[in-house]
């Protein structure tokens, strides 16, 4: 898609840049300071620096956006679920701002197409979608302040995706749930993971899950963590009756 050159039609000075409709349509408001959004889509692989020699990429905005998003969701849950205790609210917030959910949001908004890259064929992991979403939240906060940022989160995250009753039954980590069940029932568990020498360009891992020495599930993915989580999910569905009894 050509990155930001399709989003920011530059003149000689940044302050007079014209923001193309695509980004304004996603945001739902007119951008005030284009610089924040340029940074929000600038990957560290570009090795850009400012006049002081400081690295320029989306990671600092990602850090800020993570904190702002967490605050907005916490505030929403505090008022939406007055009966929820600290543990409940923390768990619910974790489900809303989970890496998997943020990746889905980034994909939904097609943020990756805005990445500023010299090499359009550069490959990144799945988390780049969520990273860009957090960086965008950080840019909105700096550009427009808390209220506009909150309105954006309500419009793009809470209203279309947050259902309290469904969230309560959502499993955040199948591995965590399975480990907790095994420990509670004194079941010996072991994850055995190894590099999978397949023919793909991207490196893969295979994870096998053993319960009391018996293989109950195995899975394959692009990281050890993902493979173990996938094998735990498969084990959960095969043992669902026993786990939920």
Give pLDDT tens digits along the chain (245 positions): 444 444 544 333 334 344 556 788 899 998 999 899 999 998 888 788 888 888 889 999 999 999 999 999 999 999 999 999 998 999 899 999 999 899 999 999 999 888 876 665 566 778 899 999 999 999 999 999 999 999 999 999 999 999 998 888 888 788 988 998 999 999 999 999 988 776 666 788 999 999 999 999 999 988 899 899 999 999 998 998 888 87
Closest CA to 110 of 14, 25, 39, 209: 25
Domain residues of the chain, as ranges? Answer: 3-169, 174-244
Q: What is the pLDDT of residue 208?
A: 94
> CATH topology for 174-244?
Double Stranded RNA Binding Domain (3.30.160)
Tokens 């908004």 correspond to what residue? 109
CATH class of 3-169: mainly alpha
Query: What pLDDT score was predicted for residue 121?
Result: 56
How much is the pLDDT for 49?
A: 84
Q: Which residue has the tokens 């349509």?
A: 25
* Residues identified as active-site: 66, 134
For 100-130, give one letter per residue: b (16+ CB within 10 A) or e.
ebbbebbbebebbebbbbeeeeeeeeeebbb
Are domains 3-169 and 174-244 of this chain identical in fold? no
Give the pLDDT confidence score for residue 9 in this predicted structure. 45
- Distance (Å, whole) CA 181 – CA 245: 11
State residue 131's pLDDT score: 96
Q: What is the pLDDT of residue 10?
A: 39
Q: Return d(Cα 212, Cα 205) in angstroms, integer.
A: 23
Distance CA 169, CA 31 (A): 38
What is the predicted pLDDT for the residue at 43?
85
Does pTM surpass 0.75?
A: no
């Amino acid at each position: 898609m050509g990155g930001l050159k399709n989003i920011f039609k530059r003149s000689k000075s940044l302050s007079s840049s014209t923001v193309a409709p695509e980004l304004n349509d996603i945001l739902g408001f007119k951008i005030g300071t284009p610089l924040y959004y340029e940074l929000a889509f600038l990957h560290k692989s570009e090795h850009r620096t400012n006049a002081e020699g400081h690295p320029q990429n989306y990671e600092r905005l990602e850090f800020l956006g993570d904190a702002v998003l967490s605050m907005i969701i916490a505030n929403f849950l505090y008022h939406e679920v007055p009966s929820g205790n600290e543990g409940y609210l923390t768990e619910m917030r974790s489900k809303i701002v989970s890496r998997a959910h943020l990746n889905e949001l980034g994909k939904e908004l097609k943020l990756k197409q805005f990445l500023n890259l010299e090499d359009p064929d550069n490959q990144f992991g799945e988390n780049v979608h969520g990273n860009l979403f957090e960086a965008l939240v950080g840019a909105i906060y700096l550009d427009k302040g808390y209220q506009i940022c909150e309105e954006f989160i309500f419009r793009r995250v809470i209203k279309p995706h947050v259902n309290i009753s469904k969230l309560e039954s959502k499993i955040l980590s199948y591995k965590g749930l399975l480990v907790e069940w095994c420990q509670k029932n004194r079941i010996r568990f072991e994850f055995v993971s190894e590099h999978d020498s397949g023919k793909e360009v991207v490196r893969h891992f295979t994870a096998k899950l053993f319960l009391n020495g018996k293989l109950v599930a195995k899975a394959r993915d692009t990281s050890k963590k993902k493979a173990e989580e996938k094998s735990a999910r498969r084990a959960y569905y095969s043992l669902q009756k026993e786990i939920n009894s």
